[in-house]
Amino acid sequence: MKTFFKYFTLFSLGGLLYMMIEILFSGSTHWTMGILGGLCFLLIGLINSTFSYDFSLIKQMAMSAILITALEFVAGVILNLGLHLAIWDYSHLPFNILGQVCLPFSFIWFFLSLPAIFLDDFIRWQLFGEGKPHYKLF
């Protein structure tokens, strides 16, 4: 039960934060972005907890940005192209793929993943008694 509560807490927080970021930048969001954000936050935490503390923050951030971009692409293909929900469209941005993801947002996810990594570590340490985090920049 403790494991379920931990992952439910992390998923919920990630989903809420993802939706808040969308509202801040675009003025709106969709409930499916809560699911996508929760999944992204859980997976960022798994990257973080799977590798040792010798795994650099820069590598974690790069892996997180790639992961988020890939999940956004899959979600966009299903939700926007498949179900025609028109939640977002990046066709007007440079280096986009089918209007669902673009390079500028991948860079943004790279930098936003750093606070996500720290937050995940802090929650796991303070609420769930996991090890105190240690970081290596490079």
The tens digit of pLDDT for each residue in 117-138 reads 999 999 999 999 998 998 999 9
Residues 19-32 have pLDDT tens digits of 999 999 899 999 99
Euclidean distance between CA atoms 24 and 82, whole angstroms: 27
Give pTM, 2 decimals.
0.93
pLDDT value of position 54: 79
55, containing H or E segment: none
pLDDT tens digits along 33-68: 999 999 999 999 999 888 877 789 999 999 999 999
Domain ranges of the chain: 2-126
Question: Does the pLDDT value for residue 116 go beyond 80?
Answer: yes
Q: Which of 52, 66, 55, 51 is nearest to 107 (CA)?
A: 66
**Pair 30, 85: CB distance under 8 Å:** yes
**What is the C-alpha separation between 76 and 87, in angstroms, rounded?**
8
Q: Please give the DSSP secondary-structure letter assigned to residue 130.
A: P
Q: Is the dihedral of CA 58, 62, 68, 72 positive or negative?
A: positive
